[in-house]
C-alpha cells in the first residue's frame, strides 16, 4: 500500500514537472521568433500523430459510432477550448514570463467553479462550510493571480552573485514597455477562462461518447485543421514554417507528444486511483518548479509581490479543492445513507 502511494505521488510530481517544462520550452521557442499560430499547428500535429496509434490499439473495437451532432459539438469545443485557447496562451507568452504562465494554470479550478456556479452546474449551499470555503478560495485565487501579475514590489536580490543590477534593470524596463505589462496577463487570463469552459463542456460530451482517448484524439485533429487555417491566414511566409534542429523542434514535439499524450495517461491513472481532487492538488508544483528554474537558469527577476501573489493563489486553490473534496464526501455519505434506507424499506416490505 505504501509503495502504491509512493508511485502515485511520484507520478504527480512528474506531471507537474512536465507542465513546468512546457511553460519554459514554449517561452524559449516563442522568444526565439517562432510564430505562435505556427507553434500551435506543429504542437497539434505532433499530438495527433502521437495519439492515433494509442487510440487504434486501445479503443478500435470498443469506441461507439459518432453522430453528426456529436461531431459538430466536438468541433466547436475544439475551436473554443483548444485552438483559440492555445493561440491566446502562446501569444501571451510573448508578453509575459514562463513563471506567470505556470501561475495562471492555478486559476483554472477556481474559474471553473465560478462558471459552473453561474450555469447552475454547481450549487451554493449557504448553510454548508465547504460551499463558503470554495467561494472564498475562488476569490482569493483570482486576487492572488492579479497581485502576481500587477504588483511587483521590491526585487528579491538573493542571487546577486548571478544576476547583475544592470541586467535586472534592463529586464524590468523591457517587460514594462509597449503595453506588455497588461497585454500578457489579460490574454493569459482569457486563455484560462476558455480552458475552464472547455472542461465544463466535456461533461455532457463524455456522457454521449465515453471513449475518452478517441474523443481527445478527434479534438486534437479538429484543432490541427483549425490551427492550420488560422496560421495560413495570419502568416503566409513559407520561411516562418521551417523547423530546424533547435529549441523550436524540441518545444513543439515536447508539447505535442509528452504533454498531450504522456501526461494524459498519467493523470487518468492517478484519477482512477485517488480521484480528481488529489490530482488537482499538485497543480502549484508547476509554478514552484518553473519559478526556480527561470530564476536560476534564465535569470528571470523575482519580485516580492509575485511571491505573495503566488502564495495567495496556491492558498485559494487549496481552499477550492478542500471544499470540493468535502462536498464529494458529503454526497457519497448521502448516497450510502439512501442505499441503507432503501434496503431497510425493502426488508420491511418483504416482512
Compute the residue count for the chain. 351
Q: Three cell numbers at 20? A: 513546468
* pLDDT for res 175: 43
200-236 burial: b if 16+ Cβ within 10 Å, else e: bbbeeeeeebebbbbbbbbbbbbbbbbbbebbeeeee
* pLDDT digit string, tens, across residues 55-96: 888 887 787 888 889 999 999 999 998 899 999 988 888 888
* pLDDT for res 4: 66
* pLDDT digit string, tens, across residues 116-165: 778 776 666 667 777 788 778 778 877 776 777 667 777 766 544 444 44
* pLDDT for res 170: 43
Please tell me the least confidently modeled range out of 66-70, 165-169, 346-350.
165-169
- Helix, strand or coil, per DSSP, at residue 154: coil
Q: What end-to-end distance do the CA atoms of the chain give, in Å?
A: 43
* pLDDT for res 107: 75
* pLDDT digit string, tens, across residues 257-315: 888 777 866 776 776 676 655 666 677 777 777 877 777 766 666 677 777 877 887 78
Q: Which residue has the higher pLDDT, 185 or 83?
A: 83
* pLDDT for res 340: 55
Q: What is the mean pLDDT of the chain?
A: 77
Q: Which residue has the higher pLDDT, 163 or 29?
A: 29
pLDDT above 90 for 317: no
Q: Please give the average per-residue pLDDT across 244-269, as a whole number.
A: 82
CB 216 within 8 Å of CB 202: no
- Burial class of 43 by CB neighbour count within 10 A (0 to 12, 13 to 18, 19+): buried
Q: Three cell numbers at 246? A: 533547435
Grid cell 523550436 is found at 248
CB 100 within 8 Å of CB 185: yes
Q: At 155, give phi and psi (nearest 5°).
A: -75, 140
C-alpha pair distances (Å), 212 with each of 36, 79, 200, 262, 266: 28, 18, 15, 14, 14
Please tell me the distance from the alpha carbon of residue 283 to that of residue 108, in angstroms, as a whole number.
10
Q: Closest Cα to residue 296, out of 187, 181, 178, 161?
A: 161
* pLDDT for res 171: 42
Amino acid at each position: 500500500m505504501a509503495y502504491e502511494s509512493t508511485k502515485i505521488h511520484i507520478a504527480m510530481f512528474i506531471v507537474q514537472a512536465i507542465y513546468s517544462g512546457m511553460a519554459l520550452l514554449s517561452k524559449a521557442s516563442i522568444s526565439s521568433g517562432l510564430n505562435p499560430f505556427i507553434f500551435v499547428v506543429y504542437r497539434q500535429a505532433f499530438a495527433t500523430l502521437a495519439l492515433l496509434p494509442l487510440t487504434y490499439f486501445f479503443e478500435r473495437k470498443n469506441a461507439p459510432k459518432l453522430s453528426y451532432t456529436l461531431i459538430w459539438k466536438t468541433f466547436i469545443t475544439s475551436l473554443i477550448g483548444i485552438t483559440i485557447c492555445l493561440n491566446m496562451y502562446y501569444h501571451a507568452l510573448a508578453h509575459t514570463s514562463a513563471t506567470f504562465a505556470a501561475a495562471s494554470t492555478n486559476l483554472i479550478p477556481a474559474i471553473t467553479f465560478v462558471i459552473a456556479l453561474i450555469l447552475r452546474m454547481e450549487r451554493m449551499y449557504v448553510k454548508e462550510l465547504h460551499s463558503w470555503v470554495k467561494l472564498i478560495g475562488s476569490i482569493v485565487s483570482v486576487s492572488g493571480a492579479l497581485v502576481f501579475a500587477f504588483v511587483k514590489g521590491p526585487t528579491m536580490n538573493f542571487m546577486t552573485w548571478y544576476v547583475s543590477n544592470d541586467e535586472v534593470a534592463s529586464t524590468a524596463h523591457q517587460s514594462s514597455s509597449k503595453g506588455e505589462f497588461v497585454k500578457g496577463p489579460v490574454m493569459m487570463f482569457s486563455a484560462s477562462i476558455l480552458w475552464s469552459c472547455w472542461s465544463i463542456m466535456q461533461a455532457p460530451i463524455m456522457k454521449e461518447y465515453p471513449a475518452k482517448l478517441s474523443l481527445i484524439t478527434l479534438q486534437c485533429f479538429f484543432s490541427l485543421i483549425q490551427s492550420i487555417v488560422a496560421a495560413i491566414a495570419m502568416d503566409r511566409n513559407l520561411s516562418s514554417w521551417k523547423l530546424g534542429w533547435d529549441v523550436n523542434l524540441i518545444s513543439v514535439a515536447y508539447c505535442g507528444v509528452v504533454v498531450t499524450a504522456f501526461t494524459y495517461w498519467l493523470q487518468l491513472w492517478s484519477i482512477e486511483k485517488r480521484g480528481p481532487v488529489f490530482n488537482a492538488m499538485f497543480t502549484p508544483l508547476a509554478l514552484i518548479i518553473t519559478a526556480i528554474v527561470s530564476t536560476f537558469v534564465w535569470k528571470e527577476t523575482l519580485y516580492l509581490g509575485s511571491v505573495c501573489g503566488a502564495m495567495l493563489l496556491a492558498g485559494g486553490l487549496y481552499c477550492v479543492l478542500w471544499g470540493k473534496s468535502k462536498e464529494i464526501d458529503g454526497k457519497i455519505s448521502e448516497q450510502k445513507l439512501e442505499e441503507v434506507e432503501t434496503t431497510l424499506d425493502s426488508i420491511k416490505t418483504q416482512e
